Amino acid sequence: MSERAHGSVACGPTLEVAVFRAVYTEVNARIQTAAHGLAQGGTIAALSPDEGALADGPNQTAGMRAWNLWREETRQSLGW
């Protein structure tokens, strides 16, 4: 028997982008869940596919800033 739907998969052109996408997929899922609760059955605003594609470029830059922070925090916590 095959098990399904036990997590998410994130990918990107670099490891840094893939990690950023993995982290923020979970963050965005929490926000979306809260928004649906607040909408009480109504609709919520979302990006169109074209808007999502346009947002990807700036997100890759933001991903590098986040990567550098996460890398430094990890190094400090592990004593690297």
Does this model's pTM top 0.75? My answer is no
Q: How confident is the model at residue 3 (pLDDT cuts 50, 70, 90)?
A: low
Higher pLDDT, 69 or 5: 69
Q: Nearest 5°: CA angle at 20, between 15 and 24? A: 150
* Contact call for residues 59 and 20 (beta carbons, < 8 A): yes
pLDDT in tens, 27-63: 999 999 999 999 998 888 888 999 989 988 888 788 8
Task: Sketch the domain layout of the chain as residue ranges.
Answer: 15-78
Percent of the chain with pLDDT over 90: 45
DSSP states along 2-58: ----SS-----SSHHHHHHHHHHHHHHHHHHHHHHHHHTTS------HHHHHHHHHH
